[in-house]
Structure 1
Amino acid sequence: MSNQPYEGYDAGYDPYGQPQPHPQQAQQQGWYDPNAASAYPQQQPYGQPQPHQQQWEGQNYGGALPPEAPVYDSHGYAAPGADGRAHPSGSVGRADGWAAGQGGGGTRTAAPEAPAVDVSRLPANQRARLEGRSPIIEPGRQPAALTAALGALLAGAAALGSYALAVPLVILQAVTAAGWFRLNGMWPARQGIALAFLGAFAADVALLAVGREQGPAVILGTLGVWVLLSLVLQLRSHADPDTRMYGLMATVASSALSIVAAGYLAAPQDAVTVGAVAVAAAILARALPLPTAASVTVGLLAAAGAGIALGGATSLGTSGAFLGLGAGICALIGHRVASYDYPSRFVHFTAGVALPLTAAAPVVYVLGRALG
């Protein structure tokens, strides 16, 4: 039997599926016909174009197959593939953006044009990034109006007594606990929110029981107990260490803010009235459609003016301006913390409403004691 391939078959075809040697080896064996079609491309020196070779460099497909190479016709052009487009031979795009078969001096192929983006349909933070502005979205007028309403409730209830003040204060503490967890991207977090709110409620009950004179001891003692309790609960969690640490920090911070808000119960009644109204004035002014620097300035002036106006109607007198200004500064800090880089209404209507008033509670207590 002859060793020559059957005349009806191409030289590179093996009817039994046996692997064929490389054309150079076949030529050495004496039966390779250089004029016959071959399944192997002709070897080219390094750096020279190889028209029918598609390279995939710099990519790791994690065990998956690379994209399918195009099929070339007799004219050297790629037939339409899965994407329905044909690429000329020698200009097949590589995964790294360079034309296939090009050496170090190759040129980049033209990338397909990106579809036009309707900027008006993008979220506010993405639209701000495209326009070169800050992506931070501040709470708007509605959260500011709610903050002012809650501040007015605190101011009016403070004039009625500690038990009346506890009602809007509990609302403030609940919204603070929920808003802080959502501000940190943790939702739902029912256990953490419940734990923080229970700490604040325990501080309120203790202050009503022992009196505002023991305010610092009650607040710091409750805070210490709740930090320890949060640590014990997180140690019992089966989550991974990073998740437990993140949950611990969020729970401790939420508990601390909610408990510190109880400082309104420990502060003098006149100081609560002046401070709460000053926070309301500062946040309403901050929500005006003005440049940031201008609105901050107007907010501080409004807080100081509210302190002067209400100070004259209370025992604080002209020193109410200092209390109002201090409460306004803390309110604007809380407002900035509540600003978010994603337009989340839940964040703005919880943290955006509560944090300005919560952040002002320590200053209202300290300045109220010092100036009263």
Structure 2
Amino acid sequence: MSDQPYQGGPYEGYDPYGQQQHQAAPQAWPGQSQAGYDQYADAYPQQGYDQQHTQQWQGQTWETQTHGHVQAAETSYLPPQEPYAPQAPAPQPPQPQQPEPAPEAEAATAYGPATLAGNSRVTDAQRARLEGRSPIIEPGMQPALLTAVLGLLLAVTASIASYALVVPLVMLQAVTAAGWFRLNGMWPARQGIALAFLGGLTADAAVLAAGRDHAPAAILGPLGVWVLLSLVLQLRSHASPDERMYGLMATVASSSLAVLATGYLAAQPHAVSVGAAAVAVAVLARALPLPTPASVVVSLLAASGAGIAVGGMTGFGTKGAALGAAAAICALIGHRVASYDYPSRFVHFTAGVALPLSAAAPVVWVLGRALG
């Protein structure tokens, strides 16, 4: 390619749009004389270009692809540029590979406790079912001892006075409300627990004010009101519809258990002594290291014997055997519920302690009045 400036006339190449007559006057090339440029100005008189405003390129320019210094004359033709492709990094010396985690370790990270907020991980109970194991874990001897202590307090204070019975009864209602919510995986649930506990206290006050003769209305009235309050509480919630329905069921069930526990206060004192003592003995027998069928039979027999013994001391007589067995059946159902779905230690020391006694309260109240 020659380094001499271009001296020819106007470019007459192919013009597909027929607009060559409107082509702008070319600019001067670097090193081109002013006379050569005047030829272009004379060749385009209709454009009216002002030479004073015509930009002239001097010296070097930049090539936009390679960012290198090139001469202006060399820019008339550029070879096609290959697209930039990142080079692969140089091979590094081989490093020792980390051992892959065992399938058991990966499975352990995929499980976790269920939450009301929508935890998508698999719960421990679901994992147990997938592995062919039972999700039932019984509370054990320590919660059974606490249940026995609370049952004996109910049995002793019932024979003293109604106001003395209120003290262990309020403890039972508080532990029932907290344990039920935790058993259902809802924690913290302060509003629901407080509402259920307040329902139990309201029923206690109503029975004390109305007397045992009017106990059905004093218990069923607060129970119906607290169902409506539970509904209102969930309607004010900003959670999803499924979570609100789940919370409604838990709140209603917890409130019902707390209110129905007032049956100990509404029942005859001798029936309370027999039923609470039978529950205490039944739960202790159920915690013994025996096969489940044998443990259930031993529990029922022990509860019947306790009913007869306490019935003889209180004047309830041999009818205490039937009341003790019935109370023991309800207590074992509550014990089973507290053992369901891989409960935590907190569940065992709340629901595991309270549910056997709370579940037996309606039977002690109704059957005690029928037999007494």
Task: Return the TM-score normalized by structure 2.
Answer: 0.68
Aligned pairs for 1:190-339 (under 5 A) are 190-339=190-339
Q: Helix, strand or coil: the match of 2:175? A: helix
Query: What is the aligned partner in structure 1 of residue 82 from structure 2?
Result: 16
1:84-95 equivalences under 5 Å are none
Structure 1 moving runs of 4+ over 4 Å? 79-85, 122-132
Deviation at 1:368, TM superposition (A): 0.4
The percent of aligned pairs where both chains have the same amino acid is 73
| Structure-2 separation of matches of 1:343 and 1:326 | 26
CA RMSD of aligned residues (A): 3.3
Which residue does the alignment assign to 1:369? 369
| Aligned-pair CA distance for 1:257 | 0.3
Quickly say closer, same or farther: Cα 1:81–1:145, change in 2 above 3 A. farther
Q: Contact 1:275 / 1:307 at 8 angstroms: preserved in 2?
A: yes
| Superposition TM-score, scaled by structure 1 size | 0.68
1:358 corresponds to 2:362: no
Alpha-carbon distance in structure 2 between the residues aligned to 1:258 and 1:83: 64
Shift of 1:340: 3.7
Q: What is the CA distance between 1:325 and its match in structure 2?
A: 0.1
Q: Is 2:102 the partner of 1:114?
A: yes
Q: Structure 1's 126 and 310: CA in aligned 2 closer, same or farther, altered over 3 A?
A: same
Instruction: Give SS of 1:370's match.
Output: helix
Q: Secondary structure at the match of 2:321?
A: helix
Report the secondary structure of 1:191's partner residue: helix
TM-aligned CA distance change 1:185 to 1:82, over 3 Å:
farther
| 1:160 paired to 2:226 | no
Q: Which runs of 5+ in 1 are unaligned?
A: 1-13, 20-70, 72-78, 86-111
Aligned residue type for 2:211: G
Paired residues of 1:125 and 1:137 also in contact (CA < 8 A): no
Question: Would the aligned equivalents of 1:311 and 1:317 in 2 still touch at CA under 8 Å?
Answer: yes
Task: Assess if the C-alpha contact under 8 Å between 2:183 and 2:343 holds in 1.
Answer: no
Name the CA distance, whole Å, in 2 between partners of 1:330 and 1:198: 24
Change (3 A) 1:116 1:249: closer
* Structure 1 Cα separation of the partners of residues 94 and 325 of structure 2: 68
What CA distance in whole angstroms lies between the structure 2 residues aligned with 1:82 and 1:253? 63
Distance 1:184 1:83 in 2: 50
Question: Shift in Å at residue 84 of structure 1?
Answer: 5.8
Please tell me the residue identity of whatever aligns with 1:17.
P
Which one has the bigger helix percentage?
A: 2
**Displacement of 1:243:** 1.3
Alpha-carbon separation, structure 2, partners of 1:310 and 1:206? 29
Can you list the C-alpha shifts for 1:42-92, whole angstroms capped at 9, x where unaligned?
Answer: xxxxxxxxxxxxxxxxxxxxxxxxxxxxx9xxxxxxx9999966xxxxxxx
Change (3 A) 1:125 1:232: closer
- Give per-residue Cα distances to partners, 1:248-289, cap 9 Å, x unaligned: 111110000000000001100000000000000000000001
The answer (yes or no) to whether the contact 1:159–1:270 under 8 Å persists in 2 is yes
Residues 16, 158 of structure 1: alpha-carbon distance in 2 compared, 3 angstrom cutoff = same
Report which of the two structures shows the higher radius of gyration computed on alpha carbons: 2
* Displacement after TM superposition at 1:115 (Å): 6.3
User: Unmatched 5+ residue regions in structure 2?
Assistant: 1-79, 106-110, 113-123
Change (3 A) 1:291 1:203: same
